């Protein structure tokens, strides 16, 4: 029975990971400040008796004090700001919640002798990627968002701590993840709009941005496959995505179908929905596929499940959104 | 007459840049906390009447308050921790002095409407580079030092601010710079050892690490050439180095020749002098050369000038070093 620490344990991906680790018989300490995480996502976990939730904020350097030790098999560091869009009102947010928080986690691990970190990075580190599908070793990219830059910075810290202090690193560059407990992103935004007014949908950009999404179950499968595979590298880096993309319009079609609505679409225009938005995301996932992993759901199926879950869990859908 | 702000103005590269900008008739405000910078380097600058030194630490978010405006042509952000080696005693140093400080500068620029930043990055962002000579768009590298990781993080912030807020960015990835006012690095370490004991030289690694160095005058020429060239990119990235390398042993030979000593060399062994040391650094500098720049000094000439300057400025050589 292995012991793990999961930061961001009450979030979408974090809570699903906690459930998965518990299902394989492990013990988990979850850390979450519950600023965007939800205790509700952890009800089943708490009922197992093998999970403990510690309410702390990883932007505090002392957040992991007393929780780490050499026999903690893995620190899954998922706590992060997950909003890709630029925020002039809180420009320091990405730096603090993604970069400095990751440094805090690494430094706590170094001091406690914790051996292995799994870091949730993002396909956004490729900026406007120089090649499609984008492999892990594509030409050195230029950052186009503070979100991507802050995650790239954190990746670099993970890599440097692996080299300097022997902490094994696993970096997963996700596309957007969809599925049960989804609580942030375009599917929720569109669903919220349509539940409020089924006749009208406002779309950032021209709807033709090409995006990749991955179903949460497939994402967790991939992480487990990667961790179980033999490795001689100090840091393993894996893209996690599907080999397909959908346009924003494709995604809207699925959402509308599930909701049974046919809104008038109002596009803000342009091939980028916001500053730092990528007109196209398509990751080359040969590395993880070479280990035997393959996603079970298509993007459309993943989006569909997400909408169904949102409809069954309307408490997650914000009442008013413009 | 353009106005500029230079952070790290009292440092090796900073003070040389200040002199260069003043020589072309510009006005300069220098910012330096004098923790490693030297007021002495700025005597000529202060005598011009067009230079002002502000003693502030850029790790303080308020450091640039009152110094920036839309008519400040360029912010040259050179303030940094320049020690590549891992410091377990001060593990947060690179994060604070390189990454967070750069964020502070960018954020101050955004708020004040300052239009252009020049950022001094490093060839260390290539880690153990996947290709030699290493071009700016080489395969996405893995970080091997906190120094490199912290500079890469800062590059990403510069790029994101360029995309999000329209601040023009120039990123220069330097090899190690040598020349007059050199006050940190292997030439000084070796010279200090040999001035103390000419019979014996302790060398980190096996002496066969291959390194590139660039003369300070050539470095400043390159920056001026790059800034003067037409550009349509939001961020310009340039490697700055020579097309040659020398081994640590080659460099030692020049140093010993200038000092007139023939020490017994004691190697600590291994192809890396310290954790995060690169067995080889050789940057592909075609991009900056395409603008007409070419270095005037060879690496050996640069090292030679450095030793001569150190001998004429013994006050800079630490008395005791192991």
Chain A residue with CA closest to B233: the answer is A142
Q: A53 forms bridges with which residues in the sheet?
A: A30
User: How much is the pLDDT for A87?
Assistant: 62
User: What is the mean predicted confidence (pLDDT) over B84-106?
Assistant: 87
* Interface test mutation site (partner A, options B95, B96, B106, B156, max chain A beta carbons within 10 A): B156
- The CATH code that applies to domain B178-212+243-282+294-316 is 3.90.25.10
* Dihedral angle sign, alpha carbons of residues B191, B184, A166, A108: positive
Tens digit of each residue's pLDDT (9 = 90 or more) over B254-265: 999 999 999 999
Grade residue B85 by pLDDT with cuts at 50, 70 and 90.
confident
The residue ranking higher by pLDDT, B111 or A320, is: B111
Give me the half-sphere count of Cα atoms (radius 13 Å) on the Cβ side of residue A95.
24
Comma-separated ranges of CATH 3.90.25.10 domains in chain A: 180-212+245-282+297-316
Instruction: State yes or no: pLDDT of B155 exceeds 60.
Output: yes
Q: Tell me if residue B245 is catalytic.
A: no
pLDDT above 80 (res B87): no
Sequence-ordered list of residues with C-beta below 8 angstroms from that of A295, at least 6 positions apart, any chain: A214, A215, A218, A221, A222, A242
Summarize the confidence of residues A199-216 as an average pLDDT.
94
Measured between beta carbons, the chain A residues lying within 8 angstroms of B160 are 143-146, 148-149, 276
Residue A245 near residue A175 (C-beta atoms within 8 A): no
Look at B144 and A159 and tell me if their CB atoms are within 8 Å: yes
**Integer Cα distance of A79 and A8 in angstroms:** 4
Are B10 and B39 contacting, i.e. CB atoms less than 8 angstroms apart?
yes
pTM above 0.90, yes or no: yes
Q: B210 — alpha (psi -120 to 50), left (phi > 0) or beta?
A: beta
Residue range A155-183: average pLDDT?
Answer: 96
What's the CA gap between B30 and B158, in Å, rounded? 20
Q: What Cα–Cα distance (Å) separates residue B317 from each residue in A52, B14, B188, B264, B307?
A: 56, 19, 7, 21, 11
Nearest neighbour of B91 by CB, restricted to A92, A107, A235: A107
- In which residue ranges of chain B is CATH 3.40.50.720 found? 3-175+215-240
Query: Which member of A140, A142, A160 has the closest CB to residue B138?
Result: A140
CATH topology of domain A180-212+245-282+297-316: UDP-galactose 4-epimerase; domain 1 (3.90.25)
Residue with structure tokens 């008038």? A264
Task: Say yes or no to pLDDT of B86 above 70.
Answer: no
pLDDT tops 90 at residue B25: yes
Rounded to whole angstroms, how far apart are CA atoms A127 and B1?
Answer: 37
Categorise residue A127: left if φ over 0, alpha if ψ from -120 to 50, beta otherwise: left
Integer Cα distance of B255 and B149 in angstroms = 31
CATH class of A3-177+213-240: alpha beta
> Which H or E element spans position A54?
strand A51-54
Nearest to A255 by CA among A206, A213, A205, A315: A213
Q: To the nearest whole angstrom, how far is the Cα of A166 from the nearest Cα of chain B?
A: 11
Beta-carbon separation of A140 and B137 below 8 A: yes
Chain A partners within 8 Å of B164 (Cβ): 86, 145-146, 275-276
Measured distance CA(B33)–CA(B111) in Å, rounded: 22
In the CATH scheme, what is the code of domain B3-175+215-240? 3.40.50.720
* Residue B193 host element (H or E): helix B186-196
Which residue of chain A has the CA closest to B138?
A139
- CB contact B239 to A (< 8 Å): no
pLDDT at position A276 is: 73
- Start and end residues for every CATH 3.90.25.10 domain found in chain B: 178-212+243-282+294-316
Contacting residues for B106 by C-beta, under 8 A, at least 6 apart: B117, B157, B158, B161, B167
Nearest to A156 among B88, B91, B153 (CB): B153
Q: What does the radius of gyration of chain A's CA atoms come to, in whole angstroms?
A: 19
DSSP state of B211: E
Best CA proximity match to B61, nearest among B113, B27, B109: B109
């Amino acid at each position: 029975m292995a012991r793990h620490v999961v930061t961001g344990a009450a979030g979408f991906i974090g809570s699903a990971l906690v459930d998965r680790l518990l299902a394989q018989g492990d013990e988990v300490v979850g850390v979450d400040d519950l600023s965007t995480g939800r205790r509700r996502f952890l009800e089943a976990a708490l009922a197992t008796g093998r999970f403990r939730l510690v309410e702390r904020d990883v932007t505090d350097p002392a957040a992991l004090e007393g929780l780490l030790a050499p026999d903690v098999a893995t620190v899954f560091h998922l706590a992060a700001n997950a909003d890709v869009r630029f925020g002039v009102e809180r420009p320091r947010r990405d730096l603090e919640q993604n970069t400095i928080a990751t440094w805090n986690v690494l430094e706590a691990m170094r001091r406690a002798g914790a051996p292995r970190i799994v870091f949730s990075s993002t396909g956004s580190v490729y900026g406007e990627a120089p090649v499609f599908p984008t492999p892990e070793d594509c030409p050195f990219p230029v950052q186009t968002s503070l979100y991507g830059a802050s995650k790239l910075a954190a990746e670099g810290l993970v890599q440097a701590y692996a080299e300097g202090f022997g902490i094994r690193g696993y970096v997963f560059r996700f596309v957007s993840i969809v599925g049960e407990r989804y609580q942030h992103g375009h599917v929720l935004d569109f669903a919220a709009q349509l539940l409020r007014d089924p006749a009208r949908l406002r779309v950032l950009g021209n709807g033709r941005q090409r995006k990749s999404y991955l179903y949460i179950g497939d994402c967790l499968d991939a992480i487990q496959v990667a961790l179980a595979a033999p490795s001689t590298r100090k840091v393993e880096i894996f893209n996690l995505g599907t080999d397909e993309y959908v346009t924003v319009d494709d995604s809207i079609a699925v959402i509308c179908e599930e909701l049974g609505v046919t809104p008038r679409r109002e596009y803000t225009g342009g091939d980028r929905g916001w500053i730092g938005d990528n007109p196209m995301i398509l990751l080359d996932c040969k590395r993880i596929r070479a280990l035997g992993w393959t996603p079970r759901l298509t993007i459309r199926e993943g989006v569909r499940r997400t909408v169904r879950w949102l409809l069954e869990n309307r408490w997650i859908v914000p009442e008013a959104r413009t």
